[in-house]
Amino acid sequence: MISEVNGNRIIIGRTPCRVPADLFKSEIFQRVLQRFVSRLLRHDSPLLEAIKDFRVADQAPASSYQAYDMEHLTKFLMFLSMQTLEEVIEAMPTLAPAVDLRWELYDFVEEFYDFWRGHERYLIYEDAYGPRTDTYTRHQHFIQVNETMKDLVLEAYRNICANLTGRVPMVYRQLPAGAGVGILTSRLDWQIPDPVYVGLKDIPFIQLLVIVPPLVYYPQRNYRSGMFSAVSEHPLKGATFDPEEWACYPAKVGGLLMFIYFHKRYLSLGTSLSNLFEMAEADEIEGKRPDAILLFGVEPEVLGGDQTVYYEDTANQIMVGVIGRSERVDYFGYLKKMALTLHNLIQIERGNLPIHGAMAHVVLRDGHSANIVLMGDSGAGKSESLEALRILADEHLRDLTVVFDDMGSLQIREGEVVGLGTEIGAFVRLDDLQPGYAYAEVERSIFMNPHKTNARIVIPITSYGKVIAGWPVDVFLYANNYERVTRKDPYIQFFNEIDEALGVCSQGARISKGTTSEEGLVYTYFANPFGAPQKRERHHQLARKYMEKMMSNGVKVGQLRTQLGIKGFEVAGPELAARALLGVIRGSAMEA
């Protein structure tokens, strides 16, 4: 068994474990037990009384796990998983503790089990047979390996508890005890266009993820700051990569193929991409050149002063994003937003207009329908307003399909403006949402820092086919979260002039909701710091072109006052805005 125990993370490699005894003989069990005893010593825990008979006199400092005979303690626990305490004591009287420590030992085992479960646990299994073997067979085999790991841990824990207490439980709780995430990887040959990318050649691609909910992660940061800046020299020059320390999530970001490489320090963030972006299959990777490459967690020395940069490799037609390894970027927003920045830069170069916002296809029970785009920066209320529509479903809604929740693009097809998404999921802020606003079943979600402001979940919401289908835009609204609704300033206000629409959208005003390092009323060009300011001149030309096209085609262009940034309206504001949207879909805007 290849294993790593680092911080709050456990990585389990290909494991030959077939029976509970194999667990106790593994390196990973030894290391976790050592860490657990060390923690008890740091806190001078009363649980140390349970293993007092395993102390080794004058062999090590009292504060070190080496003060205990860890080998004998491991053997004792292994035998206890197969025999009662009395039988173990009879078989190994010089090794086992006294029988009157039964309940202290029980508490020790319970705490050790919780300590194990408190880690982020990953099973990484490299596919030795390659992607050309039967996919179903390979996947089923890996799923079984993952299940076996869970079953062995549960069996060992339950057997020990039963052999200590002399009784079996009347209630079994099927808690996730094996790997929280199982990762099957393959080494695939892709089209490497330049020697600067050769260092990435042997990094394995993720080809299957098995997620065991609930997954709750606690990254070091809970907000993002700053923008991603361009560099004139390729940031990978001089960079080296150890394939054992990296993995690649091959993402389909909208219609683009993007290889997202991440250092295993950020396994929780990298594997959470599966809830956000469609995973590319082997035949979509082999022999192909990606549209973009993102590297998350390179050595800081490679980048120098600016640790969040991108480079336009025009010679090879690849957009490259690089983020340095540090605690500062330990937040899913950095990974997600850099990927979307690369997407947006490519779209601008291709003559499409990236949109920071949300789009939904809404069908009412009375037969009316509309494709609505709500543009706005983080915290503007775009997603909250669409979710407020969802809670009105019983009364008004027949169907609501989310095309994109954060970033999409507008394209012109056969003379009309259509919207396409980038993500199959959403990175949703929980702070302002009531439980009824949840996107889908909670068990599909990955939670991040649920105890903090700007708590988030990553959750799948839409199939990839719907995301990239191309939906004609009927209503285009700027999400205004900072103005109170009055008779003069209604929930929805439509623009009559292109310059008026461009003025509001270009200003990009909003009250920050703590999702970034900004505070108060802030301004972001076109509510989109991810590519639009970096190519502002070209973007503004496209924005005018698309506004003119939409307004000439009869698309309703205006702004929606969500009031999300106004105290007391965090929930009521989006709900009232949603009711106004119902009026628009039916053909008449709701007055204040």
The residue written with tokens 């503790």 in the block is: 97
Residue 338 C-alpha from the chain's centroid: 13
- Which two tokens mark 134? 């039967």
pLDDT for the residue 592: 32
pTM of the model: 0.91
* Mean pLDDT by groups of 10 residues along the chain of 592 residues: 69 75 90 95 94 79 81 94 92 78 95 95 80 75 87 94 91 87 94 95 96 89 85 92 96 98 96 97 96 96 89 97 94 95 97 95 89 89 78 74 93 97 88 49 81 86 95 96 91 95 94 67 92 95 97 96 88 88 75 34
Detail the DSSP E strand segments found in 99-245. 120-126, 181-186, 205-211, 215-217, 229-230
DSSP state of 68: B
Residue 46 C-alpha from the chain's centroid: 38
d(CA 240, CA 292): 19
Report the CATH number of the 353-586 domain. Answer: 3.90.228
d(CA 77, CA 71): 10
Cβ–Cβ < 8 Å for 394, 409:
no
pLDDT for the residue 559: 96
Q: Which residue, among 519, 364, 381, has the nearest Cα to 437 in the 3D structure?
A: 381
d(CA 266, CA 250): 16
- The residues spanned by each domain of the chain are 3-181, 222-349, 353-586
Cβ–Cβ < 8 Å for 299, 273:
no
pLDDT for the residue 512: 80
Torsion of CA 526, 528, 530, 536, to 10 degrees: 10
